[in-house]
Amino acid sequence: MQKQFLEPGPVLNEKGEPIPGYSTKSIRTYRRKDIKASPFRIKEWDFYQVSDKRMCLQFTVGHASYAGQVGIMFFDFAEGVKLAEKGTFLVIPFNSLHLPEDAEKDHVIEFKRKAGMMRIEAKQKTRHLYFKWDDFEAEILLTRQNDNSLVINIPFDESPKAFYYNQKINCMIAEGKVKYGDREYYFSPEDFFGILDWGRGVWPFHNEWYWSNGTGYIGDKIFGFNLGCGFGNTSHATENILFYGDTVHKLGEVVFELGSDYMKPWHIYDKDGRLDLTLSPTYDRTTRTKLLWVNNCCHQMFGEFKGKAVLDDGTELKIENLISFAEHAVNNW
């Protein structure tokens, strides 16, 4: 029952209501001025993550209109150690960050303060990420290996004008370095991969989701997945998809099974027999944010994925030793 967008069109209709569906490229038009909800409910963010089998660097720039964040988090999940967290929270930023209305068009995001700066430049197939704050400096170049992505526009049952317009870009190789104090860390394109989680929308104050994303190699071809459930009305389109080489393969509903102990294995599978993964966590990166009305908690679990994925033509891929994450978030914002 998923609706695929094959032609250009708006994200919202004249009443400010979402037109639900999905695409594998950014062909719909999101315009902030088309939103009919309160400006205090608009949320926008760009989130980049770069990781290999032990290190992870995250860039966040975004806002919930009444609160925002610009910063990085750098950690060694193999050792279970947070190495750095730098940046700032913003009060009543609204649209002062000037985030782009299209994730794929060339753009520059730049934020400066006395303590430091963040600059993100997207140009054709590359993303140049730069962050300097106090004695921390990171410069990363991401290069796409698959022109497809996952783009969804889904409604919420709680309000006709609530929507979630989101794009996930997988399969980017990463190179660059981090300098922190007197230490340097190098990111090699043979080992490091990057993802972009790009979100715009208006949704209920209380929300919850499960999300998993990963990239690696199966044989000599790059492979990636994006999986999620629990957020919005996904009867029109799910965010579940596989990337393999330069192809893309859409999935239906996916189930996340886990117990009360986040460190126990997670079972992630679909209802059509095309996906069966087990995540064995080794590190729980728990983040909690309390600022003004914001009260968010997320358990992002890093570890090894094993299992299988089946492509559209029936080809079964064996997944093993793919190191990435799955998360459970409960938010009030």
In this predicted structure, the answer to whether residue 294 has a pLDDT above a threshold of 90 is no
Domain that holds residue 137: 10-332
Q: What pLDDT was estimated at residue 288?
A: 86
Residue 180 in tokens: 């922190």
Q: What pLDDT was estimated at residue 290?
A: 79
DSSP type of residue 236: S
Q: Is residue 100 part of a domain?
A: yes
Residue 278 in tokens: 């087990």
Q: Which of 194, 187, 178 is nearest to 74 (CA)?
A: 178
Neighbours of 287 (CB within 10 A): 14
Find the range with the poorest average confidence among 8-17, 248-257, 294-303: 294-303
First CA to last CA across the chain, in angstroms?
Answer: 31
d(CA 323, CA 163): 31
pLDDT band at 324 (very low <50, low <70, confident <90, very high): very high
Arithmetic mean of pLDDT, 3-25: 97
d(CA 185, CA 241): 32
pLDDT band at 331 (very low <50, low <70, confident <90, very high): confident
d(CA 260, CA 266): 11
Q: Is residue 81 part of a domain?
A: yes
Q: What pLDDT was estimated at residue 69?
A: 93
Q: Is residue 1 part of a domain?
A: no
Q: Is residue 114 part of a domain?
A: yes
Q: What pLDDT was estimated at residue 65?
A: 82
Q: Is residue 320 part of a domain?
A: yes
Q: Which of 254, 293, 247 is nearest to 277 (CA)?
A: 254
Arithmetic mean of pLDDT, 84-104: 93
Arithmetic mean of pLDDT, 265-288: 96
Q: What pLDDT was estimated at residue 289?
A: 80
Q: Is residue 161 part of a domain?
A: yes
Query: How much is the pTM?
Result: 0.96
* CATH of residue 115: 2.40.370.10
In this predicted structure, the answer to whether residue 333 has a pLDDT above a threshold of 80 is no
Residue 35 falls in which region: left (phi positive, over 0), alpha (psi -120 to 50) or beta: beta
Structurally, the chain folds into a number of domains equal to 1
Q: Is residue 4 part of a domain?
A: no
Q: Is residue 5 part of a domain?
A: no
